[in-house]
Amino acid sequence: MRPLILTLGILALAAPAFAAASTTATGIVTLVDLHGETVKLGKDTYRFAKNFDLTAVTIGEKVTVTYHVAKGIAVGTAIKKAAD
């Protein structure tokens, strides 16, 4: 029983190290795919959740995307207009 408790304690302390780290990217929108829930900044594509509203994002607009990488996919969590 004691080894199990020790193992669980170690895993609990290490869990934050495995959490997805968010980062940001700023650039000009080159593609908005409302059906595919994706936004492209230059060559980089960011996938958003199905219920995420991308209707206000326009091609040519400078934006900042907050995202994390999960299974090799850049998953967008927020998008906002960037300062010029």
CA distance 8 to 11: 5
Per-domain boundaries in the chain: 21-81
CA distance 46 to 53: 14
Tokens linked to 40: 């492209």
CB 78 within 8 A of CB 52: no
CA distance 37 to 34: 5
The predicted-structure confidence for 15-73, as pLDDT tens digits, reads as follows 444 456 899 999 999 999 999 999 999 999 999 999 999 999 999 999 999 999 999 99
CB 40 within 8 A of CB 31: yes
Which three-class secondary structure state does DSSP give residue 68?
A: strand
The hierarchical CATH code for the domain 21-81 is: 2.40.50.320
84 — pLDDT class (breaks 50, 70, 90): confident
